[in-house]
Amino acid sequence: MQSLVVDPGLEGVVVGATDLSNVEGLEGRLTYRGYDIHDVAPNASFEEVCYLLLFGELPNRHQLADLGVRLAANRALPPQVLAFMQATPKDAWPMDVLRTAISSLALFTPHLEDGAHASNPRSAIHLIAKTPTIVAAWDRIRRGLAPIAPLPNLSTAANFLYMRTGRPPIAEAEKALDTYLVLLADHSYNASTFAARVTASTRADIYAAATSAVATLEGDLHGGAPGKVMKMLLEIDRPERAEAYVRALVASGERVMGMGHREYKVRDPRAMHLEAMAKTVGEASDPRWYDIARALEDAADRVLREAKPGRRIYANVEFYTAPTLYGLGIPADEFTCMFACGRMAGWTAHILEQLANNRLIRPQASYSGPVAVPWIPVERRGSAPTPVEAHA
């Protein structure tokens, strides 16, 4: 009989290869195509990282300018997508709007005879360019304001901030958001990237695979955490209240959002850069959120060491995302959408990598249901009510 390895979380299971990024969890090292994140974060622009991920090497000046022109040409949304957003209830969850809008882009993109859309660097750039425009447009529409068209001469980060407020951002704000997008651009086979690769492995096109990725990002064990980090910071309100808050949280069996990682057994290497960003952004806006986050990280370290001895639970990328984005004026329920703006670069590069050397991803499950059950005719199945009410 075939021996089965059952690992529901695929922890430590290698399911494929990638040239795009490498996470070395014990050492706390992250590289994009061999470049250390500690070199990339302070030096690269988001556009350079997009180029690196999509084309395999750092761009020269001409290539970088060319990508900038292509992104600018692709930023505006089809009027039908804007019209759908205008018709959407204003209280719709931003990630629901983003996921639906990303999927809808396929409707206004020419398709091949079999209905599929071309999956290539052009369609990747199309998706990378439009994601921040969708997020900024919904931010305004939900506030009852008209969306603002992107400007051709602004970077991805500056354009996003401009499209939210109508004012080109100060250099520090652009740099902070740009660094955030750089840090979030790729992270090997995380859940949303894996979902994108599974979808692409069926030979579904890049729009279908990117939609899978956005859907998978939403949960708070993945990209949904930073909004909940912000909720904690708001509830804590003052740094001196952090320890009592985290003690009560852990005592009630809750998790400290923004802490812990499946891969990293040390502090997430991206946290250092985001912490610096959160501090800088806080100095220009309100230092309180950085100060509370700093106190919360220290308190959580102490409390989790006591509560979970032997576990190594440290700040992850989401922790300082919260005070950074909040300090930039972005509301907490849009944080996961911001994650998607950066990660669209990695998702699309992974989808193209999967398609270039494809094998259908189709794991097995160990069957745990009943066996050899005799058939019961409908008239002999009793009269119990449908158990729908129990799930109200």
For the record, the structure tokens of 255 come out as: 């998790």
Q: Which one of the spans 127-135, 136-144, 152-160, 250-258 is the region binding ligand COA (CB under 6 A)?
A: 250-258
Indicate the SS3 state at residue 42: helix
Q: Token pair for residue 212? A: 């899978």
Going 58 to 47 to 332 to 187, the CA torsion angle's sign is negative
**311 touching ligand COA, by CB under 6 A:** yes
Stretch of residues binding ligand COA (CB under 6 A), selected from 205-213, 315-323, 332-340, 342-350: 315-323
Chosen residue from 47, 318, 334, 353 binding ligand COA by CB under 6 A: 318
| Piece of the chain touching ligand COA by CB under 6 A; list 108-116, 163-171, 303-311, 374-382 | 303-311
Amino acid at 104: S
What residue type is 194 in one-letter code?
Answer: F
For ligand COA, the closer of residues 48 and 333 by Cβ is 333
| For ligand COA, the closer CB: 155 or 321 | 321
334 is a catalytic site residue: no
Binding flag, residue 238, ligand COA (CB under 6 A): no
Residue 298: what are its φ and ψ, rounded to 5°? -60, -45
**Residue nearer to ligand COA on the CB measure, 66 or 254:** 254
3-state helix, strand, coil in the chain (%, to 5): 60, 5, 40
Shortest distance (Å) from residue 246 CB to ligand COA: 9
- CB 265, min distance to ligand COA, A: 10
Determine, following the binding rule CB under 6 A, whether residue 231 of this chain makes contact with ligand COA. Answer: no
Site for ligand COA, residues 200 to 229, rule: CB under 6 A: 220-222, 225
* Helix extents (H) in 20-170: 37-43, 46-55, 61-74, 79-86, 94-105, 121-142, 156-165
* CB distance 183 to 273 below 8 Å: yes
* DSSP, res 382: -
Whether the CB-CB separation of 257 and 318 falls below 8 Å is answered with yes
Minimum CB distance to ligand COA, residue 189 (Å): 13
Which residues sit opposite 31 in a β-bridge?
Answer: 22, 36
Token pair of 45, please? 């622009």
Of 107 and 234, CB closest to ligand COA: 234
49, 32 in Cβ contact below 8 A?
yes
- Please confirm, yes or no, whether 379 is among the known catalytic residues: no
CB of 21 to ligand COA, least distance (A): 15
Catalytic residue among 117, 126, 187, 261: 261
* Residue 32 or 335 having the CB closest to ligand COA: 335
Of 68 and 223, nearer to ligand COA (C-beta) is 223
Interaction with ligand COA in 251-280: which residues (CB under 6 A)? 255-262
CA dist., res. 258 & res. 271, Å (int): 10
Closest residue to bound ligand COA by CB: 260
Catalytic residue among 318, 334, 350, 353, which? Answer: 318
142/140 Cα distance (integer angstroms): 5
| Cα-based distances in Å from 358 to 202, 245, 255 | 9, 48, 38
Interface with ligand COA (CB under 6 A), residue from 95, 200, 274, 313 = 313
Using CB under 6 A as the binding criterion, the count of chain residues that bind ligand COA stands at 20
CA atoms within 13 A on the CB side of 165: 14
User: Which one of residues 155, 156, 316, 321 is an interface residue with ligand COA (CB under 6 A)?
Assistant: 316
Residue nearer to ligand COA on the CB measure, 306 or 389: 306
Residue 138 and residue 338 in contact, taking contact as beta carbons nearer than 8 Å: no
Catalytic residue annotation:
261, 318
Kindly list the residues in this chain that would bind ligand COA in the complex (CB under 6 A): 9, 220-222, 225, 255-262, 304, 308, 311, 313, 316-318
